[in-house]
Structure 1
């Protein structure tokens, strides 16, 4: 996690939103631009060819070019953050 401030944890669960060529989900402990950059870099480095938009204001992360939420979730957890969603049923 980012060391710039104390992160709050939310227990709110919402479904990951599948996209045509990716996935969108919440990361409630992404609180600043540094957090967003860390998440974006972790995903894009591990999954070349993806495009990541991580918005700390809305707490939403959108990954285009790869739709395996379980793999993306593992990467985000490895970066020190907590995706608050489970993948939505198809």
Structure 2
């Protein structure tokens, strides 16, 4: 998949392979920075998947999308971390 701004905005970043023990679920707006940190530090134990950055335009979609991503990947990882702030969810993401 091409890592273009349009792709990260509209589709996010799908998980390419389950190779690490820890999964990061992040906003597509953070994909490039997280991938750069992984590469710079040799963090091969981390996998990354990103939800579409455009969800910031529809913050009511973020919490359900994060819940679905966690449920989809829960059995494959030792730990899952959500790399989001509140992002307009009104506290529902933190509660989830």
Q: What interval of TM-score do these two structures reach, taking the shorter chain for normalisation?
A: 0.3 to 0.5
Find the structure with the greater CA-based Rg.
2
TM-score, normalising length from structure 1? 0.34
TM-score, normalising length from structure 2? 0.33
Higher RCO (CA-CA < 8 Å; seq separation 6+): 1
Higher helix content, 1 or 2: 2
Higher strand content, 1 or 2: 1
